[in-house]
Amino acid sequence: MKYAITILITLITAQAYGQPVLVPGAHIVDLQWAKEGAQQMTWYALRDTLRMEIGSVRNQIIRERGTLISVTQVHLKKTAATWVDTSIALWPALKPVYHASYNAQRDMVLHFGPVITGFYYDKIKPDTQDINERVSSPYFDSNLYPQLLAWLPLKEGYRQTLAVYDYNSAVSGLTEVHIVEVSSSTYSSARSGIRPVWIVKVNDNIGGSDNTSSYFFDKADRKLWQQEISAGERKMLMVAVE
**What predicted TM-score, i.e. pTM, was given to this entire model?**
0.89
In tens digits, the chain (242 residues) has pLDDT values of 333 333 334 433 444 444 689 999 988 999 899 899 999 999 999 998 899 999 999 999 999 999 999 999 999 988 877 899 999 999 999 999 999 999 999 999 999 999 999 999 999 999 999 999 999 899 999 999 999 999 999 999 999 999 999 998 777 899 999 999 999 999 999 999 999 999 999 999 887 778 999 999 999 999 999 999 998 889 999 999 99
pLDDT at 19: 65
According to the model, what pLDDT value does residue 4 have? 37
Q: What is the DSSP string of 37-64?
A: EEEEEEEEEEETTEEEEEEEEEEEEEEE
> 242: how many CB neighbours lie within 10 A of its CB?
9
Domain ranges of the chain: 23-240
